[in-house]
Structure 1
Amino acid sequence: MGSIVNGIERVHAHRGHRRPVLAIAALVLLATGTAACSGDEEPAGIPTVSGSPTASQDATPGAGETPYLDVPTGVELTGQGSALSTGDQAVVAWEPKQGLIGVLDVTVDSLESTTLKKSFSGWKLPENLKTASPYFVRVTVENAGDTELGGRTIPLYAVDGDDTLVEASSFVTTYPACPSTPLPKKFAPGDRAKACLVYLLPDAGDLQAVSFRPTQDFNPITWSGDVVPYEPAKTDKGSKGSQGEGSKKNGKKSGS
């Protein structure tokens, strides 16, 4: 698979200190682009852009309709093409590895805007991202299936005003304000976690939506809503946690 990983060199700052380095992994996915593959992640297809979603909320499969993937009995997947709002819940499935089907209960909690000066001062960015607009997307996820999903990447993308899909950035060191990490190392069925994902939209792009689109032919499930200014929390400073430990949730799983 063609890689579009932007390599970033570690540089020395004043007084011999080293600046933090931001690792951008497969940052921008264009309609004709390719995605970077890593580890044993084997996407069933490559996400592409085909215009803004127009389907209405609650586009759930009808009674007797076959789910788009083979999920455990009792799991009701949110229908492809559903257009949701921040705070809404969706049950989604994808194939992070051939033969492994993951099911997540996903809620996009908030969309937050910030600036490079405010949130990335002292971080080394590649030239093509020095005019990027940074956004933080906070989500709550639960393993709603019957497979272990520890360490998997949450397949959520930012969508800008040009209908470009942008993958979440990753870091080579801790970034407390918004860790932007994969799922916890152990994420068993029933486990829950909160996560924050960083998206750097090139050319001062505007965040329009968050999209779940694991394959090229998947009609995306999207979340949109008000984008609020990021306000640092007291726990951001010196925080070591990135996603919270998975915890069992009682109650029956349900779809949106």
Structure 2
Amino acid sequence: MHDIAPETTFSDLLAAELPYLRRYTRALTGSQARGDKYTVATLEVILKDRSDFDNDNPMKVNLFKCFHAIWASSGQLFTDPDDDLRGRAHGLLSKLTANSREALLLRTIEEFSIANIAKIMDVDDDEVRRLITTANNELSQSVQGRVMIIEDEPIIAADLTDIVTTLGHDVTGVARTHTEALALGDEQEPDLILADIQLADNSSGIDAVNDLLKKMDVPVIFITAFPERLLTGDRPEPAFLISKPFQEAQVQSAVSQAMFFASTATLKG
């Protein structure tokens, strides 16, 4: 059991896992604002009753399990599309098998074991495996589009290109610097931007993306070695975030999820 007698001990353990719940809820909803609302709601439930943490599970498992109880009862259907783009995403998501995206994100982005996903979602291991397989199949068949890659490392850029094209998407090009990214965006507008945080000329991928988003409204996936620094919840932050070093399945999952959302909250300023 977690030793939760000292208030600071429990709070510190919980705080350490919050950035990852934020990452997950944002990827699940396609929005920083929407995702963070669920994170806050989860914390409010925990503040009222911590009995669900009185077990031998890791803190992160209990935190995500608490969120999923809320999500399962109130959030999965996206019942409030607020514009045509969000409505399109809602329509696509409503056709997917229930709980399949959740299982896929928990496995690929958050890297939970099958056994821990089963605990979080309150299903058995075989059901988790079925949901992940189903999600991969359904997502790969649903949306194809154009992807711009902003990455200064040639090997990583080549890996990302292979992953994206294998999913059936077209790559508009690879930019190594802020200047190249803006020029590439002028040549052909993408449906999705996949961007590293640090670029070859010591410029910021975030700044490049923000300048691109002044001209277009597309989802963005950021890649960073320090995701917790971009998941504090106290400023505009990305809805889609991959940790470096990444696995192929993480990129596949993030790209497939992001393609469902034609607009997303991202870093501005």
- Shorter-chain TM-score: what band? under 0.3
- Structure 1 or 2: more strand by fraction: 1
As a proportion of its length, which structure holds more helix? 2
Between 1 and 2, higher relative CO (CA 8 Å, sep ≥ 6) is seen in 1
TM-score (norm 2): 0.23
